[in-house]
Amino acid sequence: MSKYLIVGLGNPGEEYRNSRHNIGFDVVDAFVWKHQGAFRVDRLAEVAEIRWKGRTFICIKPSTYMNQSGKAFRYWQEKEKIVLANTLTIVDDLALPLSKLRLRMSGSHGGHNGLFDIQTVLGTDKYPRLRFGIGHHFPTGMQVDFVLGKWFPEERPIVAEKIEKSVEVIEDVAFIGIERTMNLINSMEFGNKKV
């Protein structure tokens, strides 16, 4: 049975719930909910195990805060004996417009604290990630407030559409492979292209 580690990045705590920075948590929540799973509090993370069509998905939401995401990633990857190629990290991305999702097999952390910590702990940037574009519509000096802030009302329909599609990406990576899934998803535009 093939096994996958699905890592949603975010910060624990009510004040961060449904913020742009916590979209990784929201996508993993949606995947687990779709497959009638439930999270339990475990070491370094909330964890849910989904078995579906001969695949096992270990889904984690690190409880370590974003800048120490690597500890939870490595612990659960090693505990469950999952190869790096069978991991998928879901993360917010300022450099991408809200209209885009981007699936990659490797790459730079792009200044993202969660990806930076995972790369540091693993000693490589060669791990798959799904980057969820959040745009960069904020005044100079307000980046932190924007990233940690809630979605604007006009953004929510696109966010909901992209969360649903991100759940499909998790499934597709496991069943048709990351390269075919990249070809399907990376050219897609969501909602109003001007957002």
Q: What is the DSSP letter of 152?
A: P
Residue with tokens 């998905």: 57
Asked whether residue 193 is assigned to any structural domain, the reply reads no
Confidence check: pLDDT of 31 > 50: yes
Question: Global pTM?
Answer: 0.95
Q: Is residue 155 part of a domain?
A: yes
d(C-alpha 172, C-alpha 91), whole Å:
18
Number of domains in the chain: 1
pLDDT at 194: 45
Domain, as residue range, for 37: 2-185
**Can you give the pLDDT at residue 47?**
98
Helical pair 69-79 and 113-122, crossing angle rounded to 10 deg: 50
154-172 tens-digit pLDDT: 999 999 999 999 999 999 9
Which of the residues 21, 109, 136, 137 is marked catalytic?
21
For residue 104, give the CATH number of its domain. 3.40.50.1470
- Which pair of tokens denotes residue 172? 């597709």
Q: Does some domain include residue 192?
A: no
Mean pLDDT calculated for residue range 27-43: 98
Task: Assign 192 a pLDDT band (cuts: 50, 70, 90).
Answer: low
Q: Is 35 designated active site? A: no
